[in-house]
Amino acid sequence: MAHNVIIIGSGPAGYTAAIYLGRAGLDPVMVTGALTPGGQLVNTTEVENFPGFPEGVMGPELMDNMRAQAKRFGTEFIADDVTAIESAGSDDAPLYRLALSDGETLETRAVIIATGSNFRKLGVPGEVELSGHGVSYCATCDGFFFRDKPIVVVGGGDSAFEEALFLTRFGSSVTLIHRRDEFRASQIMVDRAKENPKLTLLTNTVVTEIHGTETAPAAPALSLGGLALNPKPQVNVSGVSLKNTVTGETAELETAAVFVAIGHTPATDFAASVASRDEDGYIIVDGASTRTSTPGIFAAGDCVDRVYRQAISAAGMGCRAALDAQEYLSE
Ligand SMILES: Cc1cc2nc3c(=O)[nH]c(=O)nc-3n(C[C@H](O)[C@H](O)[C@H](O)COP(=O)(O)OP(=O)(O)OC[C@H]3O[C@@H](n4cnc5c(N)ncnc54)[C@H](O)[C@@H]3O)c2cc1C
């Protein structure tokens, strides 16, 4: 039996679409992704800019809440990956067949692709261990935490420069590190960076390791029945090892944060045969809608949006995809 609508991906875009479609009585099915159900926010600590949480909320808790809300309205979850989508119906009654990585197939009248994007990693020691403790991939999300502290940004494209310039509002200094001596970023961004007294450009340089040191816990010791409970000390970023790509010279640089801005890869390869994509793999949608190049297939969130890349903007687009799908299904 064909489903009404299948949502692929369980980030803010996917869960929001599921909440709307569930409330519309369309019995949505969600293929959550096998490895990271909940999406990118399950890998972060505190989220301070999602409306409705005046004290902030931990990323995994926010995503658990979204899942519970989608479940409440009847969403069925399948913990797997979609590996391909193909057309299986006629022009009069379009149908789509989704292949899952466990070999199963699902049929559906409409699809919402909400598979997000993966940020590229540096792949150096310390990066994974200190992620969320000074290593970040999003200046808008985390810049605020590094007020009056030295910050490093790695990358040489427009987004690296945008992040670095934005971070000068917070950091005591910002050092942008790039492996070549020429930047991919537009000249206007480079000029702006050069004019900014807080920003230093370090070219022909790579980060070879990210270091952390233990810092005292922010919260005071708790007392439970006369027993003192000391929160665990945290290890946070304290510096980076650098290497000059031309001379081979090495150096150490103190920093409280490393923002990695070397690009994102949208997770859209599986949809290539049904949805037109741009040269970087982002799904192309029709104007302000979420309609892709194939009727009945919609896309939302970071797999479409190369500009805003925030939980709230992904959630907003998930809402639009649900309303677009709802209209399509009622035609
Ligand atoms: C470390 C970090 C911290 C961040 N902090 C903030 C913050 O404080 N505030 C903020 O607003 N934003 C923050 N962001 C950005 C925010 O997480 C993203 O903008 C948002 O999660 C995008 O939502 P999405 O639904 O488009 O995709 P994602 O959250 O990326 O979810 C995509 C989902 O699709 C699934 N998927 C992928 N491929 C397949 C497939 N083939 N089949 C099935 N499922 C698949 C994945 O498993 C995942 O569940 C942060 C991002 C990172 C990485």
pLDDT tens digits along 273-317: 999 999 999 999 999 999 999 999 999 999 999 989 899 999 999
**31 Cβ inside 6 Å of ligand 1:** yes
Reported as a single tens digit per residue, the pLDDT across 189-199 is: 999 999 999 99
How many whole angstroms from 314 Cα to the centroid of ligand 1?
Answer: 8
Q: For residue range 213-238, what is the model confidence (pLDDT) as tens digits? A: 998 665 555 565 656 666 667 899 99
43 lines ligand 1 (CB under 6 A): yes
Model confidence band, residue 207 (pLDDT cutoffs 50, 70, 90) = very high
Q: Which residue(s) pair with 302 in the sheet?
A: none
Kindly list the distances between the CA atom of residue 158 and the CA atoms of 68, 161, 191, 263, 297, in Å, as whole numbers in the listed order. Answer: 38, 5, 12, 10, 31
Does the beta carbon of 138 lie inside 6 Å of ligand 1? yes
pLDDT at 91: 83
Share of the chain above pLDDT 90, in %: 82
Ligand 1, from 115, 264, 303: best to mutate by most atoms within 8 Å of Cβ?
115
**What average pLDDT does the chain have?**
93
Q: Report, as an integer, the average pLDDT of 23-37.
A: 96
CA distance 153 to 175: 6
pLDDT at 78 over 70: yes
* Mean pLDDT (whole number) for 103-132: 95
Q: Alpha carbon of 203 to those of 143, 155, 252: distances in Å? A: 23, 10, 15
Cβ of 39 less than 6 Å from ligand 1: yes
Residue of 138, 303, 317 with the most ligand 1 atoms within 8 Å of its CB, for mutation? 138
What element of type H or E holds 320? helix 311-329
User: Of 270, 325, 255, which Cα lies nearest the Cα of 292?
Assistant: 325
- Output the pLDDT for position 331: 85
Query: How far, in Å, from the CA of 39 to the mean position of ligand 1?
Result: 4
Could you give all domains of the chain from N- to C-terminal order, each with its CATH number?
A: 3-118+264-329 (3.50.50.60), 121-260 (3.50.50.60)
Average pLDDT rounded to a whole number, residues 8-37: 97
Beta-sheet pairing, 96-100 with 82-87: antiparallel
Q: What is the pLDDT of residue 298?
A: 98
The finding on whether 309 has its CB within 6 A of some atom of ligand 1 is yes
The pairing of strands 105-113 and 3-8 is parallel
Sequence-separated (6 or more) residues with CB below 8 Å from residue 188: none
Measure 132 CA to ligand 1 centroid, in angstroms: 15
Residue 223, pLDDT score: 60
Ligand 1 close to Cβ of residue 114 (< 6 A): yes
Shortest-distance atom of ligand 1 to CA 136: 1
Structure tokens at 199: 């920003």
User: 317 CA distance to ligand 1 centroid (A)?
Assistant: 13
What pLDDT was estimated at residue 218?
Answer: 57
Inform me whether the pLDDT recorded for 160 exceeds 70: yes
Give the position, in ligand 1's atom list, of the atom nearest the Cα of 14.
25
**273-311 burial code (b ≥16 CB/10 A, e <16):** ebbebeeebbbebeeeebbbebebbbbbbbbbbbeebbb
Residue whose Cα lies nearest atom 2 of ligand 1: it is 44
Q: Is 270 in the pocket of ligand 1 (CB under 6 A)?
A: yes
Closest to 52 in 3D by CA, of 311, 318, 321, 320: 311
Whether 156 shows a pLDDT value over 60: the answer reads: yes
pLDDT of residue 46: 86
Whether 159 shows a pLDDT value over 80: the answer reads: yes
| The pLDDT of residue 228 | 61
Give me the mean pLDDT over the 147-162 stretch: 94
| 63 Cβ contact list (under 8 Å, min separation 6) | 10, 11, 12, 15, 38, 39, 41, 42
Catalytic annotation, residues:
138, 141-142
CA distance 201 to 110: 48
CA of 12 to the centre of ligand 1 (A): 7
Q: What pLDDT shows up at residue 92? A: 83
Q: Alpha-carbon distance 201 to 165, whole Å?
A: 11
**pLDDT higher than threshold 60 for residue 70:** yes
Mean pLDDT of 67-85: 98
Q: Give the number of other Cβ atoms within 10 Å of residue 61's Cβ.
A: 14
Looking at 50-54, 85-89, 164-168, which range is the least confident one? 85-89
Regarding the beta carbon of 81 and ligand 1, being less than 6 Å apart is answered yes
Whether the CB of 319 sits within 6 Å of ligand 1: no
Ligand 1 mean position, distance from CA 11 (Å): 5
